[in-house]
């Protein structure tokens, strides 16, 4: 199973959880403050080059904001 990185929105700590893809978007319990207000960070395969590239461009725009994050297979663009 892949390791996903989460960030706690309460105490801002980051931690990694070994979980399945299906469970990725579920809130994990923060090991620091036990809050469930956590969010998964970008997956490892995209976090390296993509994150640095977006930062260097300074656009701050994620592909999801344009409704084309996955070609429509996730339904994110169905509203349009």
**Which of 35, 26, 33, 30 has the alpha carbon at shortest distance from 16?**
30
> How far is Cα 17 from Cα 68, in angstroms, rounded to an integer?
28
- Shortest approach of Zn ion to residue 16 CB, angstroms? 14
Contact residue for Zn ion among 3, 33, 51, 70 (CB under 5 A) = 33
70 binds Zn ion (CB under 5 A): no
* Alpha-helical segments (H) within the chain: 44-47, 49-57
Nearer to Zn ion, 15 or 76 (CB): 15
35 binds Zn ion per the rule CB under 5 A: yes
Point out which residues bind Zn ion (CB under 5 A). 8, 10-11, 30, 32-33, 35
């Amino acid at each position: 199973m892949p390791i996903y990185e989460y960030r706690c929105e309460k105490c801002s700590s980051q931690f990694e959880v070994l979980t399945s893809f299906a469970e990725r978007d579920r809130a994990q319990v923060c090991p620091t403050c036990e809050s469930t207000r956590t969010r998964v960070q970008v997956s490892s395969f995209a976090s390296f080059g993509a994150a640095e590239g977006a930062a260097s461009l300074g656009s701050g725009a994620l592909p999801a904001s344009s409704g084309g994050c996955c070609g429509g297979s996730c339904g994110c663009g169905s509203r349009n």
